Amino acid sequence: MNDVLNEVSHKTEEHEFYNPIPEGYHIGKTKFIIVSGTVMSGLGKGIFAASLAKLFQLKGLKVTCMKFDGYLNQDAGTLNPFRHGEVFVLDDGTESDMDLGTYERFLNQNITKHNYLTGGKLFHRILSRERKGNYLGRDVQFIPHVTGEIKRFVRDLALTSKADVVFVEIGGTVGDIENNYFIEAMRELTYEEGRDNVCQVALTYVLSPKFLGEQKSKAAQLGLRLLMANGIQPDVIACRCDFPVSEKIREKISLSANVPFERVISVHDSDSIYLIPDLLEKSRIDEQIIDLLGLRYKIKNDYVARDRWNNYIQKIIAPKNEITVAITGKYTSLRDSYASILKALEHAGTHEGVHIKIKWVDTTELNEDEVVEELKEVQGIIVPGAFGSRGSEGKINCIKYARENKLPYLGLCYGFQMAVIEFARNVCGLTYANSTEIDPETPHPVIDILPEQKDIHSLGGNMRLGGYDVEIKPETKAFQLYGSLMVRERFRHRWECNPKHLELLERHGLIFSGKAPGREIMQILELKNHPFFIGTQMHPEYISRPMDPHPLYLGFVRSIILKN
């Protein structure tokens, strides 16, 4: 099949194939595991894919994961967290879906823009190629051109990553108009690569209505039938449910979808997503897929990595004392808006042997009097990233409480900026200090737009984005935590501490312990004589890993433990 595809991809006459095969690509060298969803979105396809990939990684296989999102945005940068959850930023500056953060955390590897494809990005590539005449005068159609470009993207990743297995997550649910062409592309990929080289996994949902008191599989069966009607025959079905899916339900689904019973597995809720690999391993689904794809000969178990992973799992399930941390923001009604923060806290808490309970504090209408009541029983406070003015005064009130009451504080991006404003107002005496994002006419613009942003008026992808070096000041709390004078962090911001006010802020006791090398862009602030008061322009949660918690989150959690 590879020879046929290579031949037709270089012919100029009309034919029905459009299969742009990357130079050096060979069918069978890389295997593919495609993860689709039925019944409803948000079931955890990314967690499933990352968990299975982790098991393959522990067996010595080289793996990578990619995601397709059907929306027509070119990336996730302008998406409202209420609609789509957190925007996760890759080191190369790509603003992506939160599932890419899940991949990075599970696999402990940085991934790139080549692991993320949206409908907007796809069609931009296709229209650019059309304008350059790359389609040889053909009318550009969904089949074969759109599906062909999707397969090009997937195969490019396989080639450049040199992975033994590429996991492909299809966002959304079968039946969605915006992902049906991607499902079709994966059908074609299976046809072209051969059944021995592609494993189709369907994640479905088993209903468990409380008023019935039993599990129901009909919605799952109908969703799977729709997937099969689109030409996808699942090899594996993963059943999501609150509790273990019964054998009876699995039997019904097995019979309905032509999938062997032992490959219809229960993926029920767990106390931590990091327990899912163990759940999958107990079902032996990893071993079954390895045999389906003929990968047995490549297995070289990494016992050191497995022992390290197992030690982390034991820490998760060990009994723990509890501490309470307040997350004060304006997206608190959707927990996925702060997914990476929650994971970074879990990493640090597990490492330190404590369970972290979250108290969600909506700052939208929070006045100074209400802050005392909201924060009186918490042991630490985080002010997360955000944009816009809504909720800003509530955050400033929370920061003032944390500073004056010696409550451990970690400010992230916007939390750094609000800390500067609070200090300028209440310590430096600049009563009307503010950010020009919030009040363009403020007489004391202690937070102002970055110089390189002043002539940019569009929103998509124009911030200080991705990985940058940070110069750490010696003999500071930041240096104590990092143990290094230069670190790399990830950023997503347009506004900065105004250099014109640095001298005043520092004279009154604010310490800028991290900055951009060679530039007066302040990136970390801290206070002396406080258990823990640190604000950062970067997002340290993006690079926290289960077995390597971020130093700032570790320091934050440790300060709470010591104080209590």
What is d(CA 321, CA 471) in angstroms, rounded to the nearest whole number? 36
What is d(CA 157, CA 105) in angstroms, rounded to the nearest whole number? 19
Q: Which two tokens stand for residue 279?
A: 């759940």
What is d(CA 323, CA 327) in angstroms, rounded to the nearest whole number? 13
Q: One of 84, 501, 539, 550 is an active-site residue; which one?
A: 539
Q: Is 241 a catalytic residue?
A: no
Rg (C-alpha) for the chain, rounded Å, is 25
What is d(CA 165, CA 200) in angstroms, rounded to the nearest whole number? 13
E strand residue ranges, 287-432: 321-329, 354-362, 380-383, 409-412
Amino acid at 106: F
Q: One of 65, 239, 241, 413 is an active-site residue; which one?
A: 413
Contact 74, 95 (CB under 8 A): no
Q: Is 413 a catalytic residue?
A: yes
- Per DSSP, helices labelled H in 454-531 are 477-482, 502-507
- Per DSSP, helices labelled H in 409-455 are 414-426
What is d(CA 43, CA 223) in angstroms, rounded to the nearest whole number? 14
Q: What length does the chain have?
A: 564
Contact 176, 230 (CB under 8 A): no
Q: Is 475 a catalytic residue?
A: no
Contact 286, 201 (CB under 8 A): no
Tokens 């970390």 map to which residue?
524
Instruction: Categorise residue 215: left if φ over 0, alpha if ψ from -120 to 50, beta otherwise.
Output: beta
SS3 322: strand
Residues marked as catalytic: 413, 539, 541
